[in-house]
Structure formats: C-alpha cells, structure tokens
Chain A
C-alpha cells in the first residue's frame, strides 16, 4: 500500500514551458486535491475533485488545469509556466465522511520556474 505518490519529485522549467504533475493514490479515495505551499502562506488549494470525471476550482486556480479521468489519478497541468508558479506542490486524497475525513498527503513536487 503506497498511499499517495507524486511524480516527479523535482523539476526545473523555463518560463513558458508546460508540464504535468501526476498524483496517484491506491486507497480507493473519492476526493483528491492539489495544493501549493509557499513560505509563510501555508497550503493553498488549487483544484480539487470529488469523484472520477469531476473537478472544481480552489483558492488559486489561475494558470493551472486538472483532470481526473481515473479514480486513482489526479493530474495537474501547467500550460505556460511562470516564475510565480515556483512552489512545492502537494497532492492529497480522502474518503468522504461528512467533513471529518483525514486528508492523506503525498511527498510533494518541488517546481522551479526560471
């Protein structure tokens, strides 16, 4: 049972390049989330999904797109990377239990945009 895994662990991009971050979970969780973590700002929600084929915007969705074609995978895309997207990205998943659910986090992806 690997839990939540993220690929890649680290990436350097040039401004304007695109990339996709992959999140996979093997816990059969319905909900999945993408956060970014920046110093002094905690974690901010980018997008989330409450089930296969559904996605919704979080606090800071601009410049990102997501897809949830399979229940176990949640992809985060950057179409045209900007230096402001330099951050650590975390994926999380949870099983719905009336708001009490624990979110399980992946190890993170460090992204540097030059």
Chain B
C-alpha cells in the first residue's frame, strides 16, 4: 500500500527565508505524488504534482518539489517565504483510485 510521511508538524520561517517541507513516500509501484495547500477555513488546492518525466516539478506561488527515487522523497521548497504562504501543507501519494495524505505541516511566517 502507498503511504507518505511528513517530517515536522510545524515549521516557522522568517519572511524572505527558505521554506523546506519534507515528505517521504512508500510505494510498491512508481508513485504519483502531490502537494496540496490548505489556507485557513478553506478546502485543499493543488500546489504541484509529479507523475512521470522531469523530477523537478514547479507549481503555483513559486513552490517546487523534487522527486528523488533513491531517497523515496518529494520535498517541497520555496526560496523566499511570503506572509501569504502561512497555511497547512499536505503531501499525498496516489494508490488505485485514492489519495493517501500525510498528517500535514503547518507553516507560520514571521515578519
């Protein structure tokens, strides 16, 4: 069965600093991997996804993630944090018809 583990339930960064959110996956087949973002009191929206091809995936709002098969990782980064990046971020892996989500990482941005 496919699963993901997000390392760190809370991340605090200064405005302008690097944002790094860690996700490791477990999958018996080549994985389809996703990052979703949830702003307060809203539903989830897709940031980016990896299916096949280029291992560096660019998403919305300046985020990107790199698929590393050897490390079974799909970490999310943004070079310079903005106050509007404060949200909860979820990594997910596709298994059959279903997505399996990590527990989430809450990002706070300090002025």
> Would you give the 0/1 interface string for A11-26, flagging 1 where the beta carbon is closer than 8 Å to chain B?
0000000000000000
Complex alpha-carbon distance, A104 and B34, angstroms: 13
Residue A74, interface by CB 8 Å: no
Residue contact A103 to B99, C-beta cutoff 8 Å: yes
Chain A: interface size category: 20 to 34
Contacts of A92 in B (CB 8 A): 43-44
Stretch at the interface among B11-19, B72-80, B100-108: B100-108
Q: Please give me the residue from chain A that is nearest to B32 by CB atom.
A: A99
> Would you give the 0/1 interface string for B89-103, flagging 1 where the beta carbon is closer than 8 Å to chain A?
010001001110111
Residue A2, interface by CB 8 Å: no
Identify which of A42, A48, A50, A58 contacts B90 (C-beta below 8 A). Answer: A42
**Given A105-B44, A105-B45, also A43-B101 (CB < 8 A):** yes
**Given A45-B99, A100-B32, A100-B51, also A90-B43 (CB < 8 A):** yes
Residue A53, interface by CB 8 Å: no
Identify which of A33, A40, A48, A108 contacts B103 (C-beta below 8 A). Answer: A40
Contacts of A108 in B (CB 8 A): 41-43
Contacts of B90 in A (CB 8 A): 42-43
Give the distance to chain B from A74, nearest Cβ to Cβ, in Å. 14
What is B's interface to A at a CB cutoff of 8 Å? 9, 32, 34, 36, 41-46, 49, 51, 90, 94, 97-99, 101-104
- 28 residue pairs bridging A and B, Cβ less than 8 Å apart: A4-B43, A31-B97, A33-B98, A40-B9, A40-B104, A41-B103, A42-B90, A42-B101, A42-B102, A42-B103, A42-B104, A43-B99, A45-B98, A45-B99, A48-B97, A50-B97, A58-B98, A90-B44, A99-B32, A99-B51, A100-B49, A103-B46, A103-B99, A105-B36, A105-B43, A107-B41, A107-B43, A108-B43
